[in-house]
C-alpha cells in the first residue's frame, strides 16, 4: 500500500513537471514523464501492483489533460500490467530490451490516445505535423526508461526493507 502511494506521488510530480516541460529541441518532442514513472515502477513490482500504479498515475494525468477522464488511466494500467507480467520476465535485465519496451509502450500510448480522441469527436492534426513529436517522444521515452527504472527500483527496495548482503 505504501509503495502504491509513493508511486502515485511520483506520478503526481511527473505530471506537474510535464505540464511545464516545453517541447525539447529534439524534433519538438518531450518525454512522457508519467508514462516513464509508471512503466519504470512496474519493472520492479508484481503485475497486480503495476496495474494499480499505472491506473492511478493515468488518472493523475487525466486530471490535467484534455483527454477524456479515465483514458490515460486505462492505457497506463494495461501497459503496466503487460510490462510486469510479460515483458519483464523476458528482459532478464537487458537494457536494450528495456529501451525497446519503452518505445513500444509510447507507440501504443500515443495510438490509443489518438484513437480515443477521434472516437470522442475531435479532429486530429495532419499526420505530417505529428511525425516529429511522436518520433521524438518514442526515442526520448526509450532512452530514459532504463534510468527511471534504476531510480524506481531503488525506491521500491528501500520501501520493501531490502538490504544488500555483504559478504
Partner 1 sequence: MITDTPRRQVPHWARTILVVVAAAALLAPGPWRGLENVGSVVLAPFQGAFSGVGAEVGGVFEALSKVREMSEQNADYRQEIARLESELVRLRELEIENHDLRSLLGLKERAGPGVLLPVSVIARDGTPYVEAITVDRGDSGGVQADNVVITQKGLVGRVQRVNATTSKILLITDINSSVAVRVQGESRTTGVLRGQSRENLLVIDYIPQGDTLNVGDVVITSGMGEVFPEGLVVGRIARVQRKDADPFQTAVVEPAVDMTKLERLYVMTDSGKGHAPVPS
Q: Which residues bind partner 1 (CB under 8 A)?
A: 18-22, 28, 30, 32, 61, 64-67, 110, 113-114, 117, 122-125, 129-130, 133-134
Task: Return the H-helix or E-strand segment holding 162.
Answer: none
Mutual angle of helices 95-119 and 33-44, in 10-degree steps:
130
Shortest separation between residue 28's beta carbon and partner 1, angstroms: 8
Check: CB of residue 62 under 8 Å from CB of residue 55.
no
CB of 124 to partner 1, least distance (A): 5
| Secondary element (H or E) of residue 70 | none
Contacts 24+ apart (CB under 8 A), 120-123: 120/68
Q: How far is the CB of 86 from partner 1 (least distance, A)?
A: 26
The CA-to-CA distance between both ends of the chain, in Å, stands at 32
In the complex with partner 1, the residue whose CB is nearer, 94 or 120, is: 120
DSSP 8-state class, residue 164:
-
Which lies closer to partner 1 via its Cβ, residue 94 or residue 129?
Answer: 129
Selection from 89, 99, 88 nearest residue 147 by Cα: 99
- Name the residue nearer to partner 1 (CB basis): 50 or 134: 134
What's the min distance (Å) between Cβ of 133 and partner 1? 4
Please identify which residue in the block is written with the cell numbers 503487460: 82
Least separation in angstroms between residue 109's CB and partner 1 is: 10
Amino acid at each position: 500500500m505504501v509503495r502504491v502511494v509513493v508511486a502515485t506521488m511520483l506520478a503526481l510530480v511527473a505530471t506537474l513537471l510535464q505540464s511545464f516541460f516545453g517541447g525539447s529541441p529534439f524534433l519538438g518532442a518531450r518525454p512522457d514523464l508519467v508514462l516513464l514513472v509508471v512503466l519504470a515502477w512496474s519493472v520492479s513490482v508484481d503485475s497486480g501492483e503495476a496495474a494499480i500504479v499505472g491506473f492511478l498515475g493515468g488518472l493523475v494525468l487525466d486530471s490535467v489533460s484534455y483527454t477524456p477522464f479515465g483514458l490515460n488511466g486505462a492505457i497506463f494500467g494495461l501497459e503496466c500490467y503487460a510490462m510486469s507480467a510479460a515483458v519483464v520476465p523476458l528482459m532478464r535485465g537487458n537494457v536494450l530490451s528495456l529501451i525497446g519496451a519503452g518505445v513500444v509502450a509510447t507507440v501504443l500510448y500515443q495510438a490509443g490516445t489518438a484513437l480515443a480522441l477521434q472516437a470522442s469527436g475531435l479532429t486530429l492534426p495532419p499526420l505530417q505535423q505529428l511525425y516529429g513529436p511522436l518520433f521524438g517522444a518514442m526515442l526520448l521515452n526509450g532512452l530514459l526508461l532504463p534510468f527511471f527504472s534504476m531510480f524506481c527500483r531503488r525506491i521500491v527496495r528501500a520501501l520493501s526493507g531490502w538490504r544488500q548482503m555483504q559478504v
